[in-house]
Amino acid sequence: MIRHLHVSNFILIDKLDLNFSAGLNIITGETGAGKSILMGALELISGERADPKALRRADQKCIIEAWFAGENERTDAIFQEEGIENEGDIIIRREILPGGKSRAFVNDSPVTLEVLKKIGSLLLDIHGQHDTLLLAAPERQLEILDYLAEAQPEKSQYRLAYSAWQKALLEYQKIKSRKEKEEAEFGYRQFVFEELEKAALKEGEQEALEKEAEMLRNAEDIRLKLHQTLDLLDGPTDMAAGIKMAAQSLGKLAPFSEKIGPLAERLNSIRLEMSDILGEIRNLEDEVQLDPDRLQAVEDRLSLLFQLQKKHRKDSEAELLAYLRQTAEELENFQALDEMLSAGEKAMKHGEEETRTAGARLSKKRKEHSAGIEEKMHRILADMALEKARFQVVTEDTQPGAQGMDKVAFLFSANPGKAPGDLKSVASGGEFSRLMLALKTMLAQKTAMPTLIFDEIDTGISGEVAMKVGVKIKEMARRHQVFAITHSAQMASRADAHWLVYKSHEGDETTSQICLLSETESLEQIAKMISGSKVGEAALQAARELISGQG
């Protein structure tokens, strides 16, 4: 419930600080006194957009702040999600700054309007003169039906199943679309894979082939130079034999000087190294052969590698090999799409089955309770002087949607002999208001309701009907805090707290004020509402009778 409301620099309000109580708070006042301004302040607390023109003084900011008593379990999830502290009272503040910008805070934490609307909807239920049109919306009627039928568990199960089905359906469509797209490229990928795999590519092959080709092209010159080298080292001069003989000769002189022995050893090492070199040169000479067929084969292989690189825009056989692996992986993934598509189709069908099963349970609950809801509505409407009214809940099977597998329509007729029809076309303003009040009366019995605010719900009714509507709102106020803005004396007589909105004039300035009336002041105000500006004893007696419930 709202404990306190602070308003400053808002339209005709300079500054207000109001402390509210539980029960039925009635707000009265002459037309234009500022009752709608108070409604506008509460709507801003609920998350409505701010109008820069709302500033009373354009150079000062407007502040609207409301204190809501106690912790509210319904807001806990939002507070946790948004990181808002929740240690008792909930304080909502709106600020409209000079220049038009606005800010919103909950327990001093800045929040977006979207978050404020979520929280505000759980704290305040504002019913204005034109909000009855919302009742005519099918989605709103379905929401009301589910609350009245206590179908929230079935609806939650349905929504989980429907959400899973839609997710599976979306995933299936994505896989199917991907398969159709990749199917067009499959043939080319398969050709690339077969072409590269047939080429039997090897890492480092190109470099080795280029070296071999260079040797084959120069084989004759290489063999000649190798032969010449052998002649120099092991030819007629027999350099190796000379080194051997020199080493032996020095070896004989070793006893005569310690320096000669190491020299002999060094010559022996040279002789052994030269022997190895000569062996390797002879091997190379044997290996280097004039082989035109091999040269042609190597050049053909290199030509193929170069052609593949140019064709596929790669710089080496290493890049071709990477491209081959990539293509093989893509082909494998494409072939796996068939299995994924099959699994996706299975999940999609299972999701639809689960959704239809949950939807059938939800539909059954809705239809089972429709007759009982109609009966209760008839009793409540009769209490508000609509004894002959007929209210029907009509459900029609539909394909699964976000709210279930039903289309619902509330039909109404205020007069006997006239078939119930769509609410927009058959209910007058006063009848619509009572219909909305009847539904909210039932909702208040079924679920925890926020503070209820009715803005002239008695429009179009008077006399005994207004009294009955007032009694019904009074009953609701026993369980919930209720605010009712009214011009009806009958409604005002039901107040637990009676507030008067009036204009105050000081010099050239006009401000809107609101004050809590005492019992005597409330009596006089109700008498004034009955008789006009002049209050006589007859009007006072009529007001007393209304308050006592005898009027």
Better-scored residue on pLDDT, 411 or 127: 411
Q: Give which of 285, 170, 270 is closest to 226, Cα–Cα.
A: 285
CA distance 369 to 446: 13
List of residues 6+ apart from 443 with CB closer than 8 A? 144, 147, 148, 449
431 pLDDT more than 80: no
Is residue 168 within 8 A of residue 387, CB to CB? The reply is: no
Residue-wise pLDDT for 359-370, tens only, equals: 999 999 999 999
101 pLDDT more than 60: yes
| CATH class of domain segment(s) 1-129+450-517 | alpha beta
Residue-wise pLDDT for 327-343, tens only, equals: 877 777 777 778 888 88
372 pLDDT more than 80: yes
Q: In this structure, are strands 509-516 and 497-506 parallel, antiparallel, or unpaired?
A: antiparallel
In one-letter notation, the amino acid at residue 238 is: D
Q: How many C-beta neighbours within 10 Å does residue 360 have? A: 15
Model pLDDT, residue 170: 93
Better-scored residue on pLDDT, 192 or 66: 66
21 pLDDT more than 70: yes
Quick one: average pLDDT of 473-479? 87
pLDDT band of residue 31 (cuts 50, 70, 90) is confident
pLDDT band of residue 129 (cuts 50, 70, 90) is very low
Q: Give which of 154, 170, 62 is closest to 403, Cα–Cα.
A: 154
CA distance 248 to 264: 7
Q: How far is CA 162 from the centre of its chain?
A: 17
CA distance 322 to 198: 15
What is the full DSSP assignment across 476-505?
HHTTS-EEEE-S-HHHHTT-SEEEEEEEEE
Q: In this structure, are strands 102-106 and 90-96 parallel, antiparallel, or unpaired?
A: antiparallel
Q: How many C-beta neighbours within 10 Å does residue 118 have? A: 17
Model pLDDT, residue 427: 62
Is 461 in a helix, a strand, or coil? coil
Find the DSSP H helices in 254-316: 260-287, 292-311
What six digits make up the tokens of 549? Answer: 């419930």
pLDDT band of residue 29 (cuts 50, 70, 90) is confident
Query: If you average pLDDT over every residue of the chain, what do you get?
Result: 84
Better-scored residue on pLDDT, 419 or 233: 419
131 pLDDT more than 60: no
pLDDT band of residue 133 (cuts 50, 70, 90) is low
Residue-wise pLDDT for 215-256, tens only, equals: 778 777 777 777 777 776 776 656 777 777 877 877 888 787
The enclosing H or E element of 204 equals none
Q: Which of 188-192, 397-401, 490-494 has the lowest mean pLDDT?
A: 188-192
Q: Give which of 148, 94, 512 is closest to 366, Cα–Cα.
A: 148
Burial class from Cβ neighbours inside 10 Å (0-12, 13-18, 19+) for residue 254 reads: middle
CA distance 27 to 16: 15
537 pLDDT more than 50: yes
Residue-wise pLDDT for 458-471, tens only, equals: 777 778 888 888 88
482 pLDDT more than 60: yes
Is residue 78 within 8 A of residue 118, CB to CB? The reply is: yes
Quick one: average pLDDT of 12-40? 86
Is 389 in a helix, a strand, or coil? coil
The enclosing H or E element of 520 equals helix 519-531
Is 336 in a helix, a strand, or coil? helix
Model pLDDT, residue 124: 86
Better-scored residue on pLDDT, 410 or 181: 410
265 pLDDT more than 80: yes
pLDDT band of residue 520 (cuts 50, 70, 90) is very high
Give CATH 3.40.50.300 domain extents, the chain: 1-129+450-517
